[in-house]
């Protein structure tokens, strides 16, 4: 019973700490999807380290020595308890923040996470010593149940009810209880001196089988992270969208290792065929689906794919003598998958190509097992089946490449980095040639290629939009000092006059490069334009502490990554900071155009909470520009938004915004702003 309790608790703590620590550091690195991906790489590395340690430790013949070594390691891990992490003196390289994320995680959670990672395989091996007639794989299934419960407890129990500092304290107390249980097992195990004859001899390694263990595990993790990336890039980087894919991933492990009857290859192979078709839709046309459809389709793709990977992985599991090697191989595969998505793919792909590539590799693995399962002999039926499989192997990549070429034919340049996929496209829109800066699937700035019209603001910033009205209203007061979180193509500089100052705060260095190299808004502007690289909120916080208020006439918040929103820029605490940088008569302009989220309840809630005036401005698409531009203007002085320029332009607030929503740094609920 003690083995069951300790393995269950270790698995729950192992996966519970992942969203706790990732959400805590998320605002420090811009709130983007890649923060979670990098955290997952760290977790995979330490999972591999823990499994490797368990494998090597279990090979020591004297079990008392095993127990002594592990007891010391466990006690040393208590140095990191209670769990804490600080941003003091944090200096981030905006072009490559991954090393800083990994270092922060190492110094905060490294030791406890290493011990937790080793617990599952090590205790299962010790269990096999103690109870040689019982299978330890049931414990593995139990550990996955613990992992699953640890995960789902975060969005439903922990996040809504606890401040982040209390979350860490709660987890630290849980870790203390786990250590007590683990040391009790270690002490009991040390009292039984198992002889060499009682320990099974290490079997000869089958390297072909070892490769299959690694490969299937790698594909599962690659798809997990690729699909999580896709959902977070286009919707929001929030724990719910991190944990849903991870929950499905763990569920497939639980089902696959609970018994052979739950994985029926032909059923899941059929489901995977539909998943392949769905993956095409989501890779090329995700923006055409609402948030519920996107999440549902991505979840189905992941479920069908991982059931194939983990079902086959369970089918080829070894005897208990090679148990720790098996888990080590699975962990190594996960590490390779995490490394591929986090570090390798952004260097070699200009788009998120690891998603369709992983789907195709799963398809090839399915072809492999189906081919091997076919009866021997040269019959017409077998020949037809094999020909069909070979035709599909060729048709899938050929069709993908053909569709991909149609999508990139307008690209001037395209690249990918930590912050996402960025491209510049020259396209024909109505009667005009236009150049667009596209982040993921969303345009973040448009400029006409016609020399006569290139100085005209287009898209979300055109004449008649909320932000244009805000700038125009303040120009009567004299020289303008404007802060803008989110550079885009630098379109707002069109409105700059001589002696005006525009201060842009941009997270992604590549956006700055593209705005300066491929668009002329900044270079043609009469105003002075400063571009500060780094997260806008952190930059403003540092500026306030070092030089005081910037005293902006207007502060524009327009920092989206694809259609996702950095939640930390839309909280009560963020609004307090923005107001500190605003003149008494100043305006905060929030850009809330979004395909999936209705942010009007949130903006009304924040405005009421801060006792600020707020008005909604909606510019419908027309024959020249199809983009719907939705802005909310907030002001400390209610008379500011009563000027004549605003009087006939404000829209009535939608009915659903009557239910006010307020996000804080400790709590933000994506479900409260979803468009259904």
Per-position DSSP letters for 135-150, written without gaps between them: -THHHHHHHHHHHHHH
Q: Parallel, antiparallel, or unpaired: how do β-strands 481-485 and 552-557 relate? A: parallel
- Report how many domains make up the chain: 3
The C-alpha atoms of residue 324 and residue 320 are separated, in whole angstroms, by 8
* Listed residues 368, 385, 409: the one ending a domain: 409
Query: Mapping DSSP to helix (H, G, I), strand (E, B) and coil, where does residue 579 land?
Result: helix
Asked if residue 378 is part of any domain, the answer here is yes
Determine the angle formed by the axes of helices 2-25 and 33-58, rounding to 10 degrees.
150
- Checking if the pLDDT of 431 tops 80, the result is no
The beta strands (E) that lie in 288-401 are given as none
Q: What are phi and psi of 626, to 5 degrees?
A: -85, -10
What number is the average pLDDT over the span 456-466? 93
> Do residue 339 and residue 282 come from a single domain?
yes
Do 510 and 437 meet the contact criterion of CB atoms below 8 Å apart? Answer: no
Give me the CATH number covering residue 273. Answer: 1.20.1250
Q: Tell me what the mean pLDDT of segment 231-249 comes to.
A: 79
Question: In this structure, are residues 150 and 12 in contact, taking their beta carbons and an 8 Å threshold?
Answer: yes
The label of the residue with tokens 């095409």 reads 280
Q: Do residues 608 and 482 both lie within one domain?
A: yes
Least confident of 30-34, 206-210, 607-611: 30-34
Residue 424 domain flag: no
pLDDT digits (tens, 9 = 90+) for 287-310: 788 888 889 999 999 999 999 999
What is the rounded average pLDDT of the residues 627-632? 90
SS3 420: strand
The number of angstroms, rounded, from the C-alpha of 451 to the middle of its chain's C-alpha atoms is: 40
3-state secondary structure 282-297: HHHHHHHCCHHHHHHH
Answer yes or no: do 466 and 544 share one domain: yes
Which residues fall within 8 angstroms of residue 359, CB to CB, at 6 or more apart? Answer: 223, 275, 276, 279, 301, 305
> Which three-class secondary structure state does DSSP give residue 120?
helix
Overall average pLDDT of the 350-354 stretch: 88
The reported pLDDT for the residue numbered 262 is: 81
Buried b (16+ CB within 10 A) or exposed e, 195-230: eeeebeeeeeeeeeebebbbbbbbbbbbbbbbbbbb
**Band of residue 196 on the pLDDT scale cut at 50, 70, 90:** very low
Q: Can you name the residues that pair with 660 across neighbouring β-strands?
A: none
**Cα–Cα distance between 43 and 241 in angstroms, integer?**
18
What pLDDT was estimated at residue 200? 45
Residue 562 has pLDDT above 60, yes or no: no
Q: Is 487 helix (H, G, I), strand (E, B) or coil?
A: coil
CA distance 288 to 596: 10
Asked if the model's pLDDT at residue 432 lies above 80, the reply is no
Average pLDDT, the chain: 88
Give the confidence band of 563 by pLDDT, cuts at 50, 70, 90: low
Q: Are residues 211 and 145 in the same domain?
A: no
In whole angstroms, give the CA distance from residue 191 to residue 552: 71
* Run of H or E including 448: strand 442-448
Q: What is the CATH number of the domain that holds 466?
A: 3.40.50.150
Taking residue 29's Cβ as centre, other Cβ atoms within 10 Å add up to 24
pLDDT at 384: 80
pLDDT of 329 higher than 90 = yes
CA pair distance 676, 661, nearest whole angstrom:
17
Quote the tokens at residue 319. 């005897």
Assigned token pair, 59 = 């090979």
Whether 436 maps to a domain, the answer reads no
Query: 41: part of which helix (H) or strand (E)?
Result: helix 33-58
User: Is residue 557 very low, low, confident or very high in pLDDT (cuts 50, 70, 90)?
Assistant: very high
Task: Let me know whether 534 and 550 are in one domain.
Answer: yes
If one compares 134 and 391, the residue with the highest pLDDT of the two is 391
**What is the Cα–Cα distance from 297 to 303, expressed in whole angstroms?**
10
Domain identity same for 174 and 227: no
Model confidence pLDDT, tens digit, residues 259-268: 777 889 989 9
In the DSSP assignment, the letter for residue 493 is G
Strands 501-506 and 481-485: parallel
Percent of the chain predicted with pLDDT > 90: 53
Q: What pLDDT, on the 0 to 100 scale, is given for residue 203?
A: 58
The residue among 382 and 346 whose pLDDT is bigger is: 346
Joined together, the tokens standing for residue 617 give 């401005």
Is residue 433 one of the residues assigned to a domain? no
Instruction: Report residue 194: phi and psi, to 5°.
Output: -70, 135
Q: Is 450 a member of any domain?
A: no
- Please, what sign has the CA dihedral across residues 652, 655, 660, 663? negative
Distances (CA, A) of 356 to 48, 395, 415, 574: 26, 14, 18, 38
**Pair 519, 667 in one domain:** yes
Is 383 a domain residue?
Answer: yes
With beta carbons less than 8 A apart as the criterion, state whether 136 and 323 touch: yes
Task: Kindly give, in sequence order, each residue whose CB lies less than 8 Å from that of residue 161, ignoring residues fewer than 6 positions away.
Answer: none
Confidence tier at 377 by pLDDT (50, 70, 90): low
- Write down the pLDDT at residue 236: 65
Q: How far apart are CA 217 and CA 322, in angstroms?
A: 17
pLDDT at position 246 over 70: yes
Q: Are residues 492 and 583 in the same domain?
A: yes
Residues 359 and 495 in one domain: no
Are residues 398 and 276 part of one domain? Answer: yes
Mean pLDDT, residues 604-609: 96
The sheet that has 528-533: what strands, in order across it?
528-533, 501-506, 481-485, 552-557, 582-591, 629-635, 613-619
Taking the C-alpha atoms of residue 11 and residue 142, their distance in angstroms, rounded to an integer, is 9
Nearest CA to 134 out of 320, 9, 317, 7 is that of 320
Which of 409, 424, 451 is the last residue before a domain boundary?
409
pLDDT in tens, 82-91: 998 877 767 7
Kindly tell me the burial class for residue 572, based on how many C-beta atoms sit within 10 Å of its own C-beta (0-12, 13-18, 19 or more).
middle
Residue 615 domain flag: yes
Give the per-residue pLDDT at 198. Answer: 44
Q: How far apart are CA 236 and CA 62, in angstroms?
A: 51
- The SS3 call for residue 196 is coil
Burial class of residue 498, CB neighbours in 10 A (0-12, 13-18, 19+): exposed
Query: How many angstroms separate the CA atoms of 408 and 521, rounded?
Result: 24
Mean pLDDT of 461-478: 92
Q: Considering the domain boundaries, does residue 148 fall inside one?
A: yes
Dump pLDDT digits (tens) for 511-536.
999 999 999 999 999 999 999 998 99
Neighbours of 648 (CB within 10 A): 6
| Cα 286 → chain centroid | 16
Rg over alpha carbons for the chain, rounded to the nearest Å, is 28
d(CA 164, CA 384): 59
Q: What domain range includes position 223?
A: 207-409
Residues 386-402 have a mean pLDDT of 88
Q: Where are the alpha helices (DSSP H) in 430-476?
A: 466-475
> Is residue 81 pLDDT above 90, yes or no?
yes
Q: Which residue has the higher pLDDT, 617 or 139?
A: 617
Cis before 82 (ω within 30): yes
Q: Who's near 6: CB < 8 A, 6+ residues apart? A: 119, 123, 178, 181, 182, 185
Residues 144, 214 within the same domain: no
Give the containing element (helix H, strand E) for 437: strand 432-439
The residue among 389, 409, 429 that closes a domain is 409
User: 352 and 278: one domain?
Assistant: yes
Contact 50, 118 (CB under 8 A): yes
pLDDT, position 235: 67
């Amino acid at each position: 019973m003690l083995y069951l309790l300790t393995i269950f608790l270790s698995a729950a703590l192992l996966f519970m700490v992942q969203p706790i620590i990732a959400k805590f550091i998320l605002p420090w690195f811009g709130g983007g999807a890649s923060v979670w991906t990098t955290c997952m790489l760290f977790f995979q590395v330490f999972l591999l380290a823990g499994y490797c340690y368990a494998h090597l430790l279990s090979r020591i013949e004297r079990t008392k020595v095993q127990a002594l070594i592990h007891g010391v390691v466990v006690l040393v891990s208590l140095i990191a308890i209670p769990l804490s992490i600080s941003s003091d003196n944090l200096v981030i390289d905006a072009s490559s923040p991954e090393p800083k994320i990994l270092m922060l995680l190492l110094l905060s959670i490294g030791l406890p996470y290493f011990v937790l990672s080793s617990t599952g395989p090590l205790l299962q091996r010790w269990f096999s010593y103690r109870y040689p007639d019982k299978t330890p794989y049931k414990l593995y299934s139990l550990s996955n149940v613990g992992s699953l419960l640890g995960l789902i407890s975060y969005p439903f129990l922990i996040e809504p009810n606890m401040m982040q500092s209390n979350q860490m304290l709660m987890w630290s107390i849980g870790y203390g209880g786990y250590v007590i249980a683990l040391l009790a097992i270690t002490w009991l195990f040390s009292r039984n001196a198992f002889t060499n004859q009682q320990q099974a001899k290490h079997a000869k390694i089958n390297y072909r089988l070892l490769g299959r263990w690694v490969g299937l595990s790698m594909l599962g993790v690659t798809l997990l992270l690729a699909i999580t990336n896709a959902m977070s890039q286009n919707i929001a980087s929030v724990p719910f969208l991190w944990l849903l894919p991870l929950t499905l991933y763990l569920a497939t492990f639980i089902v696959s290792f609970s018994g052979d009857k739950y994985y029926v290859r032909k059923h899941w192979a059929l489901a995977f065929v539909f998943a392949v078709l769905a993956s095409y839709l989501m890779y090329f046309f995700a923006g055409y689906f609402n948030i519920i459809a996107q999440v549902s389709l991505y979840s189905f793709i992941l479920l069908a794919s991982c059931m194939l990977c983990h079902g086959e992985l369970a089918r080829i599991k070894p005897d208990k003598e090679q148990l720790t090697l098996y888990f080590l191989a699975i962990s190594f595969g996960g590490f390779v998958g995490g490394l591929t998505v986090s570090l390798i793919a952004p260097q070699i792909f200009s788009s998120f190509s690891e998603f369709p590539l992983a789907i195709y590799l799963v398809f090839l693995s399915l072809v492999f097992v189906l081919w091997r399962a076919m009866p021997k002999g040269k019959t017409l039926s077998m020949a037809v089946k094999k020909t069909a499989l070979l035709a599909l192997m060729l048709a899938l990549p050929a069709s993908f490449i053909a569709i991909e070429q149609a999508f990139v034919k307008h690209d001037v340049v395209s690249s990918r980095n930590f912050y996402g996929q960025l491209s510049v496209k020259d396209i024909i829109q109505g009667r005009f040639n236009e150049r667009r800066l596209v982040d993921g699937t969303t345009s973040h700035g448009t400029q006409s290629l016609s020399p006569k019209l290139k100085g005209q603001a287009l898209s979300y910033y055109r004449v008649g939009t909320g932000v244009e009205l805000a700038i125009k209203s303040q120009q009567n007061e004299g020289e303008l000092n404007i802060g803008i979180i989110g550079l885009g193509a630098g379109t707002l500089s069109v409105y700059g006059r001589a002696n005006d100052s525009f201060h842009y705060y941009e997270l992604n260095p590549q956006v700055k490069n593209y705005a300066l190299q491929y668009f002329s808004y900044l270079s043609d502007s009469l105003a002075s334009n400063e571009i500060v690289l780094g997260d806008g909120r952190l930059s403003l916080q540092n500026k306030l502490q070092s030089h005081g208020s910037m005293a902006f006439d207007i502060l524009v918040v327009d920092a989206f990554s694809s259609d996702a929103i950095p939640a930390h820029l839309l909280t009560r605490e963020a609004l307090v900071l923005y107001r500190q940088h605003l003149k008494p008569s100043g305006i905060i302009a929030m850009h809330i155009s979004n395909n999936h989220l209705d942010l009007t309840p949130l903006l009304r809630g924040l405005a009421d909470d801060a006792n600020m005036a707020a008005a909604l401005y909606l510019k419908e698409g027309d024959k020249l520009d199809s983009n719907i531009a939705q802005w909310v203007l907030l002001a400390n002085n209610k008379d500011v938004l009563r000027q004549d320029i605003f009087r006939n332009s404000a829209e009535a607030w939608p009915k659903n915004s009557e239910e006010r929503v307020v996000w804080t740094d400790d709590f933000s609920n994506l479900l409260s702003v979803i468009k259904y």
